[in-house]
Amino acid sequence: MNIEIRYLEKKDLHELKEDIIKMWSQHNLNNKCLISKNVLENTDLHKYFRNSIKKNKGFALIAMVDNEIAGIVRVEEEKLEDFFNYKKAYKVDDVVIKGKFQRKGVATSLLNRVKEIAKEKGVTVLKARVYSFNEPAQRFFTDKGFDDLYAEYFFTIE
């Protein structure tokens, strides 16, 4: 299977919308009090990915297999706190791989291209935002050498 990686274009979003919304909906199923299903399902993907398409403080990549979109990753440039040895990082987020392409190297190919771009741009730290319920994504990133540095905890005051 030949996997080609390219930058996201606005026209790609219609083909990915269902898969992105399905992945996002898992967030609501796992934490209804913090995450609105209605807002998730009605998110304007063109607005959400606007900065990624313009490559403004980040970018998004598409994986193509046989002229079919197989997956996407969104990356944001993020300033790190002063006490870190490095001052900026790329935050890897919104990794969505279509069902029939999962576990076939698509996510790995996307991540490898993110690493290449980071190196070209002088960014030496990658972060990944993974929800606590998403064990497959947690395994993916730890298998790829990411360290679990910290966790965020939320409390909802009723």
CATH of residue 66's domain is 3.40.630.30
Q: What are the two backbone dihedrals, phi and then psi, of residue 33, each rounded to the nearest 5 degrees?
A: -75, -20
Domain of residue 43 covers 3-143
Q: What is the pTM of this model?
A: 0.91
Specify whether the CB–CB gap between 125 and 88 falls below 8 A: yes
In-domain check, residue 7: yes
In-domain check, residue 149: no
Q: How does pLDDT run across 15-63, given as a tens digit for each residue?
A: 999 999 988 888 888 888 888 888 888 899 999 999 999 998 999 999 9
What tokens does 4 get? 């080609």
In-domain check, residue 139: yes
